[in-house]
Amino acid sequence: MERRVYLDNNATSPMDSRVLEAIQPFFLNEFGNAASIHAYGQHARAAIERARSQVADLLSAKRREIIFTCGGTEADNAAIHGVARSFAGSGGHVITSAIEHPAVLKSCQFLEQKGFRVTYLSAGEEGIVRVEDVKEALSQDTILVSIMHANNEVGTLQPIKEIARLTRQQGILFHTDAVQSVGKIPVDVHQLGVDLLSLSGHKFHGPKGVGAMYIRDSVQTVPFMLGGSHERHRRAGTENVPGIVGLGEACRLAGESHQDMESRIADLRDRFEEGLLQRLPGSVVNGRPSSRVPHTANLSFEGVEGEALLVALDFKGLAVSTGAACSSGSLEPSHVLQAMKLGRGRIQGAIRFSLSRMISEEDMDYALETVVETVSRIRSVRVG
C-alpha cells in the first residue's frame, strides 16, 4: 500500500486511541445528562468534574476557572464578546493583531459594527507582535487585549508574558487564543499572566467539537450562551459529556508528552526543514525559527504555487496545507502571510507542515524525499 503521512495537525489531529477508549462508555451505558439528579446524571457529573481537573492541571489553573465550550471558536467568541458585553456603556477599545484566527478577527470586526474601536496590530515580517506596539496602542478606554499564543500558520510564539505585564499594570483584561500551543508546549496561566485563554481538543488528539475557556477567578464576563444553569451559569447548554471526557484525557496525555514534543518532534521538524533548505535552493522559512512551537514549519518554494504543490503532494499520500484550514478551498491568499507583508510569490508558494507526537522519523524521511522530488519536478516542468 502507498505510504500516507499526515502533516496537517494544525488543522486537526488524529484522536489518541486512549482518548477513544475513555469516551466510549459515555456514548453507551453512561449516557446520563449531567444535570439529572439520578445515578445516571451523577456519573456524568463526576466524569465532567474529573475532566475539568485534568484541563485545569494542564494549565496550572483552578478547577472553577475552566468552562467547557464546543471548541476553540466558541471559546474565542465567548471571551471577546463576554468581556465586551460586561463593559458595554463604559468605554470600548480592543487591541488585537492582524494575524489572529478568524474566530478572533471576526469577533472584533463585529464589535466594531457595535461601536467599539479596535486596533489591529501588525506582526512584522517575522510574524511576531511587538510589545512596544501594544504599549503604544493602549489607551484610557482599552478594555481588552487579545493576542494569540502561537500562530496557526507559521507557528510563531507571541510575547504573551511581556504583554500581560503591561495589561496587568493598567488593569486591562488580556485574552490569549492558545489553541495551537496548549497540548504541544507547557502552558501555565500564571506564568503567562493572562486573564482568559482558549483551547481546543481536536488540535492535540482529543475529540472535535469540544474546547475550553480559562477565566481567571477574579474576572467577570457576561455569558455568551444563554439558557440553562450549566457550568455554574457561565455557559448554557447540556454538556457534551463524551467530548468533555475526551478533552480531559487528551490534556492528561499531553502533559506526559511535552518533553517528546520539545525534543524529538522539534528535532524532526528542524532536520526536515534543514533538508529542504539545503536541497531546494530558493526555499525560505516563514516566521521566526527561534521563536516557534516545535511542531510547525512554514516554507515558501520559489517558482512553485502552493496550491499546485499541495495537490501534487496529496497524490503521493502527503497531507499538508497552504494556510488555515478554514480558508483552504478559497483562492484568498493567507491573511497571516499578507499581514507579515511577505512578497506575492512567497505568499503564493507557502506550505505549512504541521507535525504531532504521532509522527515518526520514517514519516519525516518520506516527507522530505517527497517534497524535494515534487518541487524539483514542478520546477523542471515550468522551466522546460
Enzyme catalytic residues: 326
Footprint on residues 76-135 left by ligand PLP (CB under 6 A): 76, 101, 103
Q: How many CB atoms lie within 10 A of CB 227?
A: 10
For the record, the C-alpha cell of 153 comes out as 500558520
| Nearest approach, Cβ of residue 101 and ligand PLP (Å) | 3
Q: By CB under 6 A, name the one of 9, 54, 77, 152 that touches ligand PLP.
A: 152
Distances, alpha carbon 265 to alpha carbons 1, 18, 65, 260, 277, in Å? 26, 20, 31, 6, 18
Determine the Cα–Cα distance for residues 200 and 177; give it in Å rounded to an integer. 10
| Nearest approach, Cβ of residue 154 and ligand PLP (Å) | 11
Q: By CB under 6 A, name the one of 9, 13, 73, 300 that touches ligand PLP.
A: 73
Q: Is 145 in the site for ligand PLP (CB under 6 A)?
A: no
| Nearest approach, Cβ of residue 50 and ligand PLP (Å) | 22
Tell me the chain's radius of gyration from C-alpha atoms: 21
Q: What are the helix and strand counts (H, E) for the chain?
A: 14, 12
What's the DSSP call for residue 342?
A: -
Q: Is 180 in the site for ligand PLP (CB under 6 A)?
A: yes
8 A C-beta contact, residue 79 and residue 195: no
Interacting span for ligand PLP (CB under 6 A) from 68-76, 314-322, 341-349, 355-363: 68-76
Footprint on residues 250-279 left by ligand PLP (CB under 6 A): none
Q: By CB under 6 A, name the one of 32, 72, 248, 287 that touches ligand PLP.
A: 72
Spacing of C-alpha 199 from chain mean position: 7
Of residues 180 and 300, the one with the C-beta less far from ligand PLP: 180
Task: Please enumerate in sequence order all residues whose Cβ is within 8 A of that of 40, keeping only pairs 6 or more positions apart, or say none.
Answer: 30, 31, 32, 33
Q: How many CB atoms lie within 10 A of CB 216?
A: 17
| Nearest approach, Cβ of residue 91 and ligand PLP (Å) | 27
Q: By CB under 6 A, name the one of 179, 189, 225, 293 that touches ligand PLP.
A: 179
Footprint on residues 197-226 left by ligand PLP (CB under 6 A): 200, 211
8 A C-beta contact, residue 19 and residue 206: yes
Site string for ligand PLP, 9-38 (x = CB under 6 A): ------------------------------
For the record, the C-alpha cell of 170 comes out as 493598567
**Using CB under 6 A as the criterion, which residues of the chain lie in contact with ligand PLP when the complex forms?**
71-73, 76, 101, 103, 148, 152, 177, 179-180, 200, 211, 325
